[in-house]
Structure 1
Amino acid sequence: MSIDRFGYQQQLRRELRIRDLIAYGLVFMVVIAPFGIFGSVFQASGGMVALAYVVGAAAMILTASSYGVMVKKYPVAGSVYGYAGRAIAPAVGFLTGWAILLDYVCIPLLLSLVAGAAMNSIVTSVPVWAWVIIFVLVNTVTNVLGIKTTKLLNWLFLAAELVILVIFLIFGLKAIADGKGHGFSLDPFYNGSTSFTWTLVLSGVSIGMLSYLGFDALGLLAEDAADGARTIRRAMYLSLIVVAALFVAQTYVAALLVPDPDGLIANGDPSGSAFYDAAEVAGGAWLAKLTALATALAWGIANNMVAQVATSRLLMAMSRDGQLPKFLSRVSLTRSVPTNAILTTAAISLGIGLWMASRDDGITLMSAMVNFGAMIAFIVLHVCVMWEWFKNGRQGSPLSNLIVPVLGAVVLIAVIWNGNLLAQTVGLIWLAVGAVVLVVLLATGRKPTLPEVPGDDEPLTSPRTVENV
């Protein structure tokens, strides 16, 4: 379906095929993402870290189903923001876009912070704030060069991450077979020594869910995909299935190698070294350093690079609809990328990132903001699917248009309810600010609007133009 139907001009190059989009999803989710947050998930889930990732995968697959329904109907950049605005009302779309901005704008700076902390642990002479500057500049230059450059680097980073993951799994499984660690067991799925409750598991899911964030960003690349909505839907499912299997495998092996699991549950992982400690048991100090370095580069460059791409597309989509400053919708004629949106994302990451680098709770605060924004947006996504189904006379399968969205929304609400109090507080404040902005827009006669979508027999609307640079 052409985006001319929605009142837009096709300005981005449709360069990305199914394999490229799967690579984007895998890199954005980071196939070795559990390396950096393993200890936190282990503690929150009472040692049942693998089960937490299984439950998280189930919730995200339900969410991917709803994304598939909506991206087929509205194959334009903007993702949940555009779906809510068209399925329910433009004002709801604005608030949803505002909520997901909390996720996307904070992700690049969170990634730079985590990577900077990891690199500082390896090269102690370079402070965290300096690493933040380096990571932001590298990714900004790469993305301004165009989507082809980003696509090539995606494949290189993905290959490197997979090689390191395979090395860890081989050494880890061999170490367990040789009698190291705690031997093969199902404790990472069901820990008999812990009082099992779903509240405990969902607490782990609320943290581990951070690893899955990124598959949804594929929806923001609908105007970059060579085959549009069909390619996006397939890429979402395939990337989620692959990454879930990898997450469960690596956390299962690491959980069986943790030197002091009871101490980790009781005291947490303040240094963030739990996974690297398990890697050291598996292969020695060299493997611990290798996994730490891989985490820094994966979070700081590979994931950060695609996060900046997705964030810039969201800013561009809201800008061309008049809901953010117009300059954010300008697209480079030579590179075919939203240059101003990319530079704005970089400026925010640099400014807030340097501030957060000076705080002891910077990473915790950023993680809380990212998770809350994403969960709220996903819940609205499920509501959009159900709303459209009832609005259109219940056309289509009740399984994908009612049952799956209800299940998905219930799981996500449970995750938020059992999540971190800081996430709930910061998220509600952010939503309140968004509501105030919406009231100001309405009071000043700038009511949020979206181009009308004509019926099958109606003429197309004039494409909504954006500025080129």
Structure 2
Amino acid sequence: MSEKTTLKRTLGLWAIVGLGLGYMTPTVIFDTFGIVSGDTHGVVPLAYLASMVAMLFTALSYGKMVRVFPSAGSAYTYTKETMNPHLGFMVGWAALLDYILLPMVNALIIRIYMQSLFPHVPAWVWVVSYVIIVTGVIIWSMNSTSNLNMFLLAFSITLIIAFIILSFIQLAHGMGEGTIFTTQPLFHANVHISQVLMGATVVCFSFIGFDAVTMYTEEAKNPSVVPKAIILTVLIGGGVFFIAAYFTQALFPDISIFKNKDDTLPEIGLFVGGKIFQALFIAGGFASTFASGLSSHASVSRLLYVMGRNGVFPRKLFGYVHPRFRTPIFDIILVGVISLFAITPSLDLISSVINFGALIAFTFVNFSVIAYFVFRKKRYKTAKDVFSFIILPLIGAGCTGVLWYFLHSDALKGGIVWVMIGFAYMLYKTRFFRTKAADFGFEQTEKSAETNL
């Protein structure tokens, strides 16, 4: 392996935004609708709106940090460089939980789709076939991954538009609320703020795509476009989620009609447009999930690569870039192997556990802004600096804290076990903190671009 082999810069602004949106899986709102509608007592779009507002403040913090540290690694890199390498590892380890599980979620959803169409085929056939295809495409090149992602994303968005048009027709004919102009999907007498926030903690995993955008910094043609890509990903993705959720909730105020509340997309397609549209809608969901599978699989392999390159994980394996394909081949294959576990678990369980790692990453990115700009660079002497580097990240951390409070108990338990495993590994790796910070992957990578802030 040549030590000079690096990731290849092939991605423009909209390719990165497309990967972020693909990661967010626009059709996931239909998959998790039954779960979230039950949690929120029938105000799914309000849960998405609350989550989007919370994510916007954190997205601003990501934008600030990626300008200073234009490298892959995301929250792991920012915490490691601004606070402490050991704390950075723990944040990166926690973030690995959601990054590793999301490819498994995509494989699981694909399994559910295919089983609804071909119930007599064993589940493992679909999971193994899907994982082999996705892993192969990502190994081949990031450019081919991006192109396929954009095609699949465009197809799934087209199906969502078709769903909205059919929703207009069905609501006009008396289905659900019987009108397009209704406030019921946003508020009604039986709704409590705690239910909305509990639902927001479930749907916030849908916004992980804007965080994953930072993983492509070292493959962007111009790293300066990444902060813009982050904000665009949140706004466009959040808008799609909100509109789709509004029409779905207006059509289905009562979720008791669904036989499978763990994944309601196939039944939503059937009720709205009949069997033909159901088949197309499943195809759109399949395309969206496949696109998310490509993006999420590619992103987590980049995080593993950075942690391997820094020596946190074995460098010869995790930090290896294939000289021909210019992709981290071991990390990609490892994520594929982990995704095979999607053969048996439920969507509800995995989606709840994912949020633990995401919320830790979001919290510490906000703290990283304060640690870097306020404590290291002393940027607190003007009203603009106070607002940008103290107030906004504190609001972001506060919003994340509210989501923390309403986190599902299963997610908390699973996340704590995961963190304990990571802490034990860190103790082993550092010989109970007897090694120097530099030996634990603390490589100063700061390339400040404060003039752009």
TM-score with structure 2 setting the length: 0.91
Task: Sort the Cα spacing of 1:269 and 1:200 in 2 relative to 1 into closer, same or farther, 3 A.
Answer: farther
Counterpart of 1:363 in structure 2 is: 347
1:423 aligned to 2:411?
yes
Contact 2:39/2:195, CA 8 A, preserved across alignment: yes
1:380 aligned to 2:364?
yes
Q: Can you list the C-alpha shifts for 1:58-111, whole angstroms capped at 9, x where unaligned?
A: 111111101001101100111110000000011111101100111111111121
1:325 aligned to 2:314?
yes
Q: Shift of the alpha carbon at 1:394?
A: 2.4
118-127 or 316-325, larger mean C-alpha shift: 118-127
Counterpart of 1:449 in structure 2 is: 441
CA distance in 2, matches of 1:439, 1:113: 34
Q: Can you list the C-alpha shifts for 1:239-278, whole angstroms capped at 9, x where unaligned?
A: 21111111111111111111x61647xxx97443544444
CA distance in 2, matches of 1:222, 1:269: 43
Aligned residues, how many? 435
1:142-153 to 2 correspondences below 5 Å: 142-153=137-148
Contact 1:311/1:345, CA 8 A, preserved across alignment: yes
1:82 aligned to 2:70?
no
Counterpart of 1:190 in structure 2 is: 187
Unaligned runs of 5+ in 1: 1-7, 457-469
The alignment partner of 1:100 has SS state of: helix
Contact 2:5/2:326, CA 8 A, preserved across alignment: no
CA distance in 1, matches of 2:401, 2:260: 28
Counterpart of 1:3 in structure 2 is: none
239-248 or 362-371, larger mean C-alpha shift: 362-371
CA distance in 2, matches of 1:205, 1:442: 37
CA distance in 1, matches of 2:272, 2:113: 20
TM-score with structure 1 setting the length: 0.88
1:295 aligned to 2:291?
no
CA distance in 2, matches of 1:325, 1:36: 37
One-letter code aligned to 1:16: L
1:72-221 to 2 correspondences below 5 Å: 72-182=67-177, 183-184=179-180, 185-192=182-189, 194=190, 196-221=191-216
Q: Can you list the C-alpha shifts for 1:420-457, whole angstroms capped at 9, x where unaligned?
A: 1100000011111111111222226555232235899x
Task: Sort the Cα spacing of 1:454 and 1:274 in 2 relative to 1 into closer, same or farther, 3 A.
Answer: closer
The alignment partner of 2:219 has SS state of: coil
282-291 or 111-120, larger mean C-alpha shift: 282-291
Counterpart of 1:436 in structure 2 is: 424
CA distance in 2, matches of 1:407, 1:454: 25
Contact 1:113/1:128, CA 8 A, preserved across alignment: no
CA distance in 2, matches of 1:82, 1:379: 14
Unaligned runs of 5+ in 2: 449-453
Contact 2:262/2:348, CA 8 A, preserved across alignment: no
CA distance in 2, matches of 1:336, 1:305: 17
Counterpart of 2:393 in structure 1 is: 405
The alignment partner of 2:251 has SS state of: coil
The alignment partner of 1:186 has SS state of: coil
CA distance in 2, matches of 1:220, 1:10: 18
How much identity, in percent, do the aligned residues show? Answer: 27
Contact 2:201/2:406, CA 8 A, preserved across alignment: yes
One-letter code aligned to 1:296: F
CA distance in 2, matches of 1:121, 1:453: 48
Counterpart of 2:303 in structure 1 is: 314
Counterpart of 2:238 in structure 1 is: 244
Contact 1:116/1:296, CA 8 A, preserved across alignment: no
Contact 2:34/2:255, CA 8 A, preserved across alignment: no
Counterpart of 1:463 in structure 2 is: none
Q: Can you list the C-alpha shifts for 1:359-381, whole angstroms capped at 9, x where unaligned?
A: 4xx33332222111111111111
1:22-33 to 2 correspondences below 5 Å: 22-33=17-28
Q: Shift of the alpha carbon at 1:419?
A: 2.0
The alignment partner of 1:149 has SS state of: helix
CA distance in 1, matches of 2:416, 2:354: 13
Contact 2:34/2:261, CA 8 A, preserved across alignment: no
CA distance in 1, matches of 2:262, 2:64: 38
Contact 2:68/2:446, CA 8 A, preserved across alignment: no
Task: Sort the Cα spacing of 1:191 and 1:21 in 2 relative to 1 into closer, same or farther, 3 A.
Answer: same
